[in-house]
Amino acid sequence: MDVGRHPNIDLLAYSEVESVEGEAGDFRVTVRKKPRYVDESKCTGCGACAEKCPTVTSDEYNLGLGKAKAIYKYFAQGIPSAYTIDANLCRNFQAGKKCGVCQKVCQAGAIDYKQEAKTLEFPVGAVIVATGYELFDARRIPEYGYGRIPNVITALEFERFLSASGPTHGHVHRVTDLAVQEALPEAEKTCQKAFKGLERFEKQFEMTSDAFYERYESGEFKGGDEDYEKWAAAVRAARKAKDELEELRRKAESIEAAHRLAFIQCVGSRDIRFNKYCSGFCCMHAIKEAIIAREHDRDAQVYIFGMDIRAVGKGFEEYRNRGAHEAGIHYVRSRVAEVTEERDHTPVVWYEDTKERVVRRMPVDLVILSTACQPSASAKPLADLLGIELNEFGFFKTLSHLPLDTTKPGIFICGCAHSPMDIPESVAQASSAAARAAQVLSGSGTMRLAS
């Protein structure tokens, strides 16, 4: 919030850098500010537009685990706190369609369907690159079943399950159980509609559908009026819809929290097939999620499968031990070979216990994959645009004696643009990058290193 209010900081959200020219102390940056179709200066963030929007889509912020609208706020703490219209989904931008609901309900008058992109130019003295990272696509390791076995999810998806503002409001359930809950309202509507359709026949023939179908099955009405055949088909459809609804309700009543959780580490990292490097923060992320899961459910049994646990930061080893002694986390030194699925959608982890040197199987409720940290997809095109180099892993290359300086003077990096790192290290490095940029702006050059 302090950044958004600071008089000397211009925050250009929903924008892209198109070109950077010049040299250290005298760069010219061209930025394309994309149209939100919402006036940021007028939008109060009340949410009335999203509430009334009729277009429902997948929630990108919740990784497709929830629903969103064509007009949305990417996440609650976003700055500026303004909504954005997705022109690819909004009915108002589709040929031959009209809507305008959000404009009608917006009391601030912030909706502007005619808003256009703007090109802005800035003279700057230094550039700091902080492109973040992307997660490894776990589908590239088919033996773990991600995308094929419903109850195999990623650590980031599990993070959204644990969040009170997430799609499950902090409750941890199997994905297949959530699908049952989601299907119930639609099944109820289908059942009501099917039985509503029987009323026309019952009024026409002055007979209940049950009485008619009993006589129809006995052969009394077969080969008769065509309406009898239609009525019989409608009765069968209604009974099928009722049976399916009752089955869904039975399953919904038996749903419990996911008690047995299995984390699989190093999915896509420390692997010569994909990324040779260690992603650094995955072990601690898994331990944190495991501890929170135990706080939500004291009956939870949590297993972390990995070659080893790399707790390399200050206090991290103590946190690892706390997970074992206080939260009851089981660290399983192992190599997971594959994940299979039983008929009731229960995932089964097959692994080699590298202490006992035997192959074991473990049925669990949820499998959580700790996926690798990879360079952002924007890294290569941005490096070409800035005229700087990438290293062998695809992260931005830095000088050995100046770990924040890229191969072009005046351009610095921080966070996961440099390499995989956790939040405290990223924050510390961002402060260092800001200090390096300040040196360029003040004309003091590079600080002399202590000999």
Phi, psi of 357 (to 5 degrees): 60, 45
The answer to whether the beta carbons of residues 80 and 11 sit under 8 Å apart is: yes
Phi, psi values for residue 115, rounded to 5°? -60, 140
**In the structure encoding, which two tokens stand for residue 59, read together?**
């929630």
> In this structure, are residues 231 and 184 in contact, taking their beta carbons and an 8 Å threshold?
no
3-state secondary structure of 128: strand
d(CA 75, CA 160): 12
Q: Closest by alpha carbon to 152, among 298, 295, 338?
A: 338
Domain 35-116 -> CATH class: alpha beta
Cα–Cα distance for residue pair 418/376, rounded to 1 Å: 11
Q: Mapping DSSP to helix (H, G, I), strand (E, B) and coil, where does residue 186 land?
A: helix
Q: Which residue has the tokens 């129809």?
A: 216
How far apart (Å, rounded) are the C-alpha atoms in residues 387 and 371?
Answer: 30
Q: How far apart are CA 127 and CA 433, in angstroms?
A: 9
CB neighbours (10 Å) of residue 389? 12
What angle in degrees, to the nearest 10, is found between the helix axes of 226-253 and 209-217? 110
Q: Which of 323, 313, 262, 260 is nearest to 287 (CA)?
A: 323
Residue type, 254: S
The first and second tokens of residue 32, run together, are 């394309």
Q: In the structure encoding, which two tokens stand for residue 135, read together?
A: 């997660």
Q: What is the pLDDT of residue 74?
A: 84
Q: Which residues contact 9 (CB under 8 A, 6 or more apart)?
A: 3
- The hierarchical CATH code for the domain 135-173+257-374 is 3.50.50.60
Cα gap 401→389, rounded to integer Å = 16
Say what the pLDDT of residue 224 is. Answer: 61
Q: What is the mean pLDDT of each run of 10 residues along the chain (451 residues)?
A: 82 92 94 94 92 92 89 85 93 85 94 94 95 95 96 96 90 91 92 93 91 87 77 94 94 90 96 93 95 92 94 90 94 95 95 93 97 94 95 93 93 96 93 94 63 41
Give the homologous superfamily in CATH for domain 13-31+121-132+376-451.
Answer: FAD/NAD(P)-binding domain (3.50.50.60)
CA distance 7 to 394: 36
Rounded Cα distance, 368 and 157, in Å: 9
